[in-house]
Chain A
Amino acid sequence: MTALAARFRFARDGFTLDVDLDLPSGVTGILGPSGAGKTTLLRLVAGLERCRDGDVQLGERVWQRRGERQFTPTHDRGIGFVFQEPSLFPHLDVRRNLAYGWKRTPVDARHLAFDDAVDLLDLANLMDRGADRLSGGERQRVAIARALLAGPELLCFDEPLANVDPEQRHDVLGFLERVPSEVAVPLIYVSHNREEVTRLADFLVLLRDGRVEASGPVASALTDLDTPLAHAGDAGVVLVGRIEAHDDGDGLSTLVVGDRQLLVSRIDRSIGESVRVRVAARDVSIALERAASTSILNILDATVSKVAPTASGQVTVQLQIGRETILARITKRSVIRLGLVPGRKVYAQIKGVAVVR
């Protein structure tokens, strides 16, 4: 079901953005190199940029429609926007920054209590600080809480980690991952960092030179060999699994993904919870027989569904494992030696499974 429909044709300074998007609810990741128009797209959706030739509709509400004068200004759209650069009000302390949108939000439009947002982003001991006495990561945590407190109907995150120190990035990402379950509104997450996006997103849009290169649910967008995503050096897939059992002796947890099982390092969560794991293409190798003596724990029977060369001379192999699709990155020589063609039954040896959420 479409949550946000956005269509724009927008030209400025020799750059043209021409997109037509139907985004589902949940988290949409917009990926693309810098200059692809990601930020412009987000600003158009939020109404911070005006474009005559555009339609934006969130659920039942029309924010703008081509050929009609009606244009809902940003302050009436209910947008929670987190900017790339530091954007806290320098003349207000953290508490008053958080309260700015909260005060202006009608009580029935609020999603969560003031103190809950403070706890969610762990801001309790920063409340009296000025914006200039916060680290980059702290600032973005405040900005995220401030956006959540303004009762948004749509969250727009524009590279929120771009100006955060690498050491703090991981922490902030951890906080970001909690947002979708706390505030159930569509979230658009713009980034050029694939790892960030695949950790968060359910739906992916790939933007290049102002156009949509590919879009779709994250699992299929990442494994579609027709898109450049599957060929990048850090290509990989995201799988959703359920925790079946823990083995504290060996420090492992068993996940059920589709109709198969995966062993991963012990996850600190309860049995029955769902987790997202990422399997990088370069961590998957292929064998024709099941290796008996190997250190690899996860060996699954698979069927080759597609084989495509990458620009770097290696080959990306798309594998079906039950209902799931994964990618393997191997050399051209191995493809020939093993005779890998679509339909071939093989064993996928998965060296690493990273739990992302």
Chain B
Amino acid sequence: MIVDLAPVWLSLKLATVTTVLLLGIGTPVGWWLARSTSRWKPLIEALVALPLVLPPTVLGFYLLSALGPSGLVGSLWSAVGGFPLVFTFTGLVIGSVIFSLPFAIQPIQTAFESIGPRPLEVAATLRARPLDRFATVALPLARRGYITAATLAFAHTIGEFGVVLMIGGNIAGRTEVLSIAVYNAVERLDYVQAHLLAAGMLGFAFLVLVFVFVINRRWHLR
């Protein structure tokens, strides 16, 4: 009995790429949301939070429609020579990024908000320019928010099911991620495989959380 590890690697790869992209997107968006007094802010906040309340299948369905060959994004994409988006890894990434958007942005936004204006004002009086202030004061002071954002985005991506099923299409070796592989194994009544994958996932999730709490504790004590 050999466990098929391909879904595991695919899930890890997908979660890693998604997390990196989300931290990149979350930084400017979270910063803007934390500092802005614009009247459009609630609108953007609602938009960011939408994936929290939508059933994953609804989100997946809209993504499938939009990214498919006849969808708005998909047709534009293929018109400029892009390869198909649905049922590919790229499609999975797009879906995962949107699905986990609030999990990355909200902790980053909260972290920036809790810094307040004072440390940045202090940095300004010490001759630091805006980008310098951001890199040397805001980012280090928001690091706990980043750890939380990265953990949640990563874990949430590993655990997602509905969106990847809709937009990935459950293709073995290409879009069959861990959560779907467990489902498929149960469908086949292959409980050994299901147990191994599920237990592995459980252990992994537990270790990640322990790691995060240890890091948080250490920084807190400093």
Contact = CB atoms under 8 A, between A and B. Distances in A.
Given A48-B125, A74-B121, A74-B124, 19 more contacts: A46-B125, A75-B125, A75-B128, A79-B125, A80-B125, A81-B121, A81-B122, A83-B118, A83-B121, A87-B118, A89-B123, A90-B119, A100-B128, A100-B136, A101-B125, A101-B127, A105-B127, A146-B126, A147-B126
A74 B141 contact: no
Contacts of B121: 48, 74, 81, 83
Interface in A93-107: 100-101, 104-105
A150 interface: yes
B137 interface: yes
Chain B interface size band reads: 10 to 19
Interface residues of A, number: 25
24 contacts: A74-B121, A74-B125, A75-B126, A76-B127, A78-B127, A80-B125, A81-B122, A83-B118, A83-B121, A83-B122, A89-B119, A89-B123, A90-B141, A91-B141, A100-B123, A100-B128, A100-B136, A101-B125, A104-B127, A104-B128, A130-B222, A147-B125, A150-B125, A150-B127
The interface centre, meaning the residue of A48, A76, A105 with most chain B CB atoms within 10 A of its CB, is A48
Nearest to A49: B121
A343 interface: no
Interface string A117-136: 00000000000001000000
A149 to B, nearest CB: 9
Contact of B127 (A75, A85, A87, A91): A75
B188 to A, nearest CB: 52
B143 to A, nearest CB: 8
Contacts of A76: 127
B124 A100 contact: no
Interface of A: 46, 48, 73-76, 78-81, 83, 85, 87, 89-91, 100-101, 104-105, 130, 146-147, 150-151
Interface of B: 118-119, 121-130, 132, 136-137, 140-141, 222
A40 to B, nearest CB: 14
A41 to B, nearest CB: 16
Contacts of B128: 75, 100, 104
A41 B11 CA distance: 57
A48 B136 CA distance: 19
A76 B121 CA distance: 13
Contact of A75 (B124, B137, B140, B222): B124
A147 B121 CA distance: 13
Nearest to A92: B140
Given A48-B121, A73-B124, A130-B222, A91 B140 contact: yes
B141 A100 contact: no
A74 B125 CA distance: 6
A78 B127 CA distance: 7
B120 to A, nearest CB: 10
Nearest to A152: B125
B54 to A, nearest CB: 37
Nearest to A156: B125
Contacts of A91: 140-141
B53 to A, nearest CB: 35
A135 B121 CA distance: 22
Nearest to A82: B125
Contacts of A146: 126
B36 to A, nearest CB: 17
B217 to A, nearest CB: 16
B118 A85 contact: yes
Contacts of B140: 91
A46 B123 CA distance: 13
Nearest to A109: B127
A90 B220 CA distance: 11
Nearest to B122: A87
B119 A100 contact: no
Nearest to B137: A89
